[in-house]
Amino acid sequence: LSNLAEACDLEVAGALTQNVKHIHKGYYMGPGKVEELRMLIEHEDSELVVFDDELSPSQIRNLEEELKCEVIDRTTLILNIFASRAKTREAQLQVEMARLKYLLPRLIGTREDLGRQGGGSGLKNRGAGETKLELDRRKIEEKISKLSTELEQLTLQRKTQRKQRNKKDVPVAALVGYTNAGKSTLMNAMLEKYGDKDEKLVFEKDMLFATLETAVRRLELENNRVFLLTDTVGFIHKLPHHLVRAFRSTLEEVTEADLLIHVLDASDPNHEQHKLLTEKVLHEIGVKGIPMIYAYNKVDLTDMESPSVSNSRVYLSAKKRQGLEELTNKISTEILNDYSQQTMLIPYTDGEIVSYFNNNADVISTEYDEKGTILHVICKNSDAEKYSQYVIQE
Binding residues: 177-184, 211, 231-234, 297-300, 317-319
User: Could you tell me which residues come within 8 angstroms of residue 11 by beta carbon, excluding any fewer than 6 positions away?
Assistant: none
Angle at the Cα of 93 from the Cα atoms of 90 and 97, rounded to 5 degrees: 140
Rounded distance between C-alpha atoms, residue 381 and residue 219, angstroms: 20
Closest CA to 348 of 390, 394, 393: 390
Binding positions for GTP = 177-184, 231-234, 297-300, 317-319
Question: 82 with 97: CB under 8 angstroms?
Answer: no
Binding positions for Mg(2+) = 184, 211
Rounded distance between C-alpha atoms, residue 269 and residue 272, angstroms: 8
Range 271-295 burial, b when 16+ CB lie within 10 A, else e: beebbebbbebbeeeebeebebbbb
User: Could you tell me which residues come within 8 angstroms of residue 187 by beta carbon, excluding any fewer than 6 positions away?
Assistant: 175, 202, 204, 215, 217, 229, 231
In terms of DSSP bridges, do strands 226-231 and 339-346 run parallel, antiparallel, or are they unpaired? unpaired
For residue 203, the one-letter residue type is: F
Closest CA to 295 of 248, 259, 244, 335: 259
User: Could you tell me which residues come within 8 angstroms of residue 355 by beta carbon, excluding any fewer than 6 positions away?
Assistant: none
Q: Which helix (H) or strand (E) holds 127?
A: none
Closest CA to 264 of 172, 321, 320, 180: 180
